[in-house]
Copies of this chain bind each other. A is one copy, B any other.
Amino acid sequence: VKQGWDKVIIVGAGLLGGSLGLALKKHALASRIVGVGRRQSSLDTALEQGAIDEGSLDLAEACAEADLIVLCTPAAQVPGQLDTVREAMKPSAVTTDVASTKAAICNHARQTWPQPQRFIGSHPIAGSEKFGPEHAFAELYEDKAVIMETGDHLDPDAEAQVRGLWTALGSRLVDVDPETHDAVVARTSHIPHLLSSCLAELAAGAGDVKDLIGSGFRDVTRVAEGRPEIWRDICLTNDAAILDGLDDLATLIQEARHRIAQGDRDGLDEFFQSAWDARRKVVD
């Protein structure tokens, strides 16, 4: 595996893109990093942070000389940017992304990119409710899982380069096909985020509750302060799996509701004990 690239393009200079730039510099993996964005102000912040060496508002132009291109934009923007990159990049370049949904993006690439394909989808399970390049830090990807697209349609050299990128930054690779990925993260990330948002609304609707808020509420609703565009695009690009998971969640809520309405002491014991076991199983 080649360790390091001459020219790296990071598209989207937010928390994920900015942190990637800082991490590449920390590990001396890039000779030159160009940040591509739609707003000069974000690029200026990323430049000040030292996350990029140069800013550009023109994706096609920036890609022409790039060796590695990483799309760090909201998920619904990625397919269109993949079209631009495919046309503009050198045949030897490699492209990946960091979006939280994978089927729409990976299927788009599979239908439009030449094979063996030099775009490889990635999803680092890393982030924060804080967003923007001002919150970027070089260690964001350390000790985090990165979910990787795999398959015979991928170019082995490109695949090795993208896998080498993440392992060089301290991430561990987990191979999951895009459809399974989307179905699982709908239930482990997207729906928890949606509910966190609904719970913030519910509490705000209860009046002036500031004095009555505890650490439980803070934790349950922390992610509701995530970047709206990111979560909008996740919903737009993983709608089927999210709707499916919301059906199952509705059933779980209905069961709890029934036990409360019935004053079902044993049933409620069982409900909370089972959730306790479930959380231990998933997290510990």
- Give me the interface of A with B, judged by CB distance under 8 Å: 76, 125-129, 144-145, 147, 174, 176, 181, 183-185, 187-189, 191-207, 209-226, 228-229, 231-232, 235-236, 239, 242-243, 245-246, 248-250, 252-253, 256-257, 259-261, 263, 265, 268-269, 271-283
Residues of B within 8 A of A282 (CB): 200, 203-204, 209-210, 213, 217, 221
Question: Other CB < 8 Å A-B pairs besides A189-B214, A232-B271, 4 of them?
Answer: A188-B209, A204-B282, A205-B248, A225-B280
A274 touching B201 in the complex, CB below 8 Å, given contacts A223-B220, A269-B228, A279-B221:
yes
30 contacts between A and B (CB under 8 A): A126-B214, A127-B216, A183-B206, A184-B206, A184-B212, A185-B212, A187-B205, A188-B209, A188-B212, A192-B217, A194-B256, A195-B195, A197-B279, A198-B252, A198-B256, A200-B276, A201-B274, A201-B275, A201-B278, A202-B245, A202-B248, A216-B226, A218-B283, A224-B279, A225-B279, A228-B273, A232-B269, A235-B259, A235-B260, A246-B257
| Chain B, Cβ-Cβ closest to A76 | B265
| Chain B, Cβ-Cβ closest to A280 | B225
Residues of B within 8 A of A231 (CB): 268, 272
**A199, B202: Cα distance in complex, Å:** 17
Residues of B within 8 A of A200 (CB): 275-276, 278-279, 282
Residues of B within 8 A of A281 (CB): 204
